[in-house]
Amino acid sequence: MLVAATTECFDNCSLPEAIDRLLELEYSSVEIALHEDGTQLKPSEVLTDFERALKLCRNTRRLDVIAYSLRIAAEGERFYQEFSACCKLAKATKVVTVTVPSAELGTPFNEEVERLRRLVGIAQVEGVRVGLKSQVGRQSQDPDTVQVLCDNVPGLGVTLDPSHYICGPCSNRSYDKLFKYVYHVHLRDTSKKQLQVRVGQGEIEYGRLINQLQKVKYTRALSVNIAEMPGVDHAGELRKLRLLLETLL
């Protein structure tokens, strides 16, 4: 396993600025956020100007790109076109995993299965894997639902964010059943009342988490995903979690 961080940690910065910040914090690997509602590189831009997007994602200096996080706002066929372009970008930059959000709560289960099957099919053409992000407020907030989705969509995996299973409506349910599906991991510290707290003040058991991942022979990234908090040294929190994870590994 290796320690990385996502550019989403600096969602008010441009992509080059976010990469510079992570270099200053001595990270060696990066996950790039392709979020339509973000300030960095958008999925719509990947589709309309692929060469520019490719140049940006290759210009990471010493950082290895290990994953992409996708948030696509388009609907209908345009959604799948943008997703396909992002998968082509992943292939061109030798990235194996892209993360996508699950459908909103209330979406018919069969509809979500069909959508995810189509995404996995598009990604497999480019040699890319799709990880479904653990997320409160969406179908993936329930680990039981995630397991059923992965079982019904061959090739689908999980981008495990344990924070959403500690602070959320399913906090009393074990997510151990999901480890065998894990393609990628997002980390911060969390309490039962707050999705993000300062590192060391929450309930994430990093040692146990790493041990569980090792049992299923997970060898990829642990991606730090810490947002800014008022009155807290953001850079210090990012550095602290990097050092903690590297010590445990």
How many other CB atoms are there within 10 angstroms of residue 215's CB atom? 11
pLDDT band, residue 170 (cuts 50/70/90): confident
| Structural domains in the chain plus CATH codes | 2-248 (3.20.20.150)
Cα 111 from chain centre: 23
Average pLDDT for residues 33-61, to the nearest whole number?
96
Average pLDDT for residues 218-236, to the nearest whole number?
96
- pLDDT(168) > 90: no
pLDDT given at position 220? 95
| pLDDT tens sequence across 10-23 | 999 999 999 999 99
- pLDDT(110) > 80: yes
Q: At what angle do helices 109-125 and 143-152 cross, to 10 degrees?
A: 60
Which residues lie below 8 Å from residue 15, measured CB to CB, with a gap of 6+? 7, 32, 40, 41, 56
- pLDDT(173) > 90: no
How many other CB atoms are there within 10 angstroms of residue 230's CB atom? 4
> In Å, what is the CA distance from 76 to each residue of 80, 81, 178, 237?
7, 9, 30, 40
- pLDDT(172) > 80: no
| pLDDT tens sequence across 64-86 | 999 999 999 999 999 999 999 99
Average pLDDT for residues 193-206, to the nearest whole number?
93
Q: Is the dihedral of CA 173, 4, 85, 48 positive or negative?
A: positive
Average pLDDT for residues 32-56, to the nearest whole number?
96
